[in-house]
Amino acid sequence: MQSLIEDVSFIFEECARLNDMVKLGRFKEIPREDAFCYLPHPSQSWPHGKMMCSRAGFTRLEGITRVALQRADLQKRVSIKPARKAMAEILVRKFLREGRPINEKHVARAMAENGRRSAATTSDLTHFVPCHLMLSQQPTEFQLGPVRFINRKIFRKKLADHIRANRAINRNMSRRVVFDAVRYFNTFGWIAEVTITACDREVSETMANSAVFAALNCLHVLFGARHSRKMTVGGPGIDYDKRGGFSVNPDGTLFSGASYGGPGEVGFGDKWFELFADAEAQTAIANLGTALEVAVDPSLRRPISERFLDAAQWYGEAVRETSQGAKAVKYVTALERMVMTDEKDDIAGLVSSRVAALCLEKPTVEGREKWRADTKRAYVIRSKLVHGSLSPTSDLVYEGVSLGADLGRSALLSALSAIGPEGLRSQDVSNRQLGCCYDDLVAHVDRVIENAAARR
């Protein structure tokens, strides 16, 4: 608390120092980075009345605000800028306008008040995020845990209902803004609907976009790289992508060409979802939904779900990546994020043995060694790329991409199945515990293979 008291005192000392310089006509001596930091003036209402505060003072103010948010358990729910503004108003009112002493009691009360004011800005918000998934509009909706995807027709009906309901409430709603937003959304075939719990608007919007991207990453894992590379979230509002090119041969003959494409994947029929109707696929979809719960509620602390979503993000970024070299690197990084737990020695061997144990379907030496060899091969290609001994244009890179895409999908889905919903929701799993679980799995698979070989 003593450091917070010193920070509050320092803030007002800086205000006094800079404003004395202004009164003495020494404004030009004030550094540029200090001249644009302001607090509300104690004698006038904010934001019309201002007084200068140095960059150093503003940094202390932000630090105090972060501590206040942390004490109120709001650090992940409230954006720093409005909370900092509220803290500035509270400090000026208490210690300048009301003249209270800067001591432990009043600083603590100021921080508590900031927490209450910040908490009042939070609410549950439902967001609609446009996506390019597949051109097929069937089924009309599908869901991955807390993220629901609805087709354009369903969204337009839902939006029309909201617009009619809000027109009576808010007569100042800009028709032009609504029209432009509707026209933009009409260029997307699918809309993600997601509710973020108890955050302010800025944090809620950021989390909603992150959650939808996390859901898209999970779709990449579920569908595989070859069937989902054109899927994306947001971006330019285009109905189709028209491109062209020109070339000239040595005798001056001009060649021209044009291509017409569209966003989203073409190869999905109207009954594509029936491909995922079996029990194994439904279990995978349910587990993906469980992992995504942590993406919409900042109060959840689920280490394994967070780890899986991190790995799925690397995998999804690899799928959407245009550079083959970057693809190969990101696929293997997805594997590392899923199965590595702070080990430092023989990483390639450790990753390959854990991936093999996760993905092996039949307990045979040949199958296990095939998985290990493929994983090591992908790892070697990634290492050569990262350390500069392999050109990103080498033919080996394409091998690394192909291996990485298949290994990443198999390993992530297998890990998801092995962990299950209980593990995904667990709040107290350390890296060491997870590493021991992986090691036990490897040992178990080795014993099963040895026993099967002995019986033969």
Cα 335 from Cα 371, distance rounded (Å): 13
Torsion angle defined by CA atoms of residues 436, 439, 445 and 449, in that order, rounded to the nearest 10 degrees: -140
In contact, 195 and 124? CB cutoff 8 Å: yes
What local confidence, expressed as pLDDT, does residue 170 receive?
61
What are the residue ranges spanned by the domains of the chain? Answer: 2-119, 123-297, 301-456
**0.85 surpassed by pTM:** yes
Report d(CA 430, CA 412) in Å as an integer.
19
In the chain, count of helices (H) and strands (E)?
15, 9
Residues of the chain with pLDDT under 70: 44-48, 168-173, 456
Q: Does residue 128 sit in helix, strand or coil?
A: strand
- Residue 34's pLDDT is 78
Position 36 scores a pLDDT of 80
Q: Which pLDDT belongs to residue 110?
A: 94
3-state DSSP assignment of residue 99: coil
- What contacts 24+ positions apart, CB below 8 Å, involve 434-440? 434/303, 434/304, 434/307, 434/341, 435/341, 435/342, 435/343, 438/339, 438/341, 438/354, 438/357
Q: How far is CA 248 from CA 208, 252, 255, 402, in A?
A: 48, 6, 6, 35
The pLDDT value given to residue 17: 87
d(CA 102, CA 339): 51
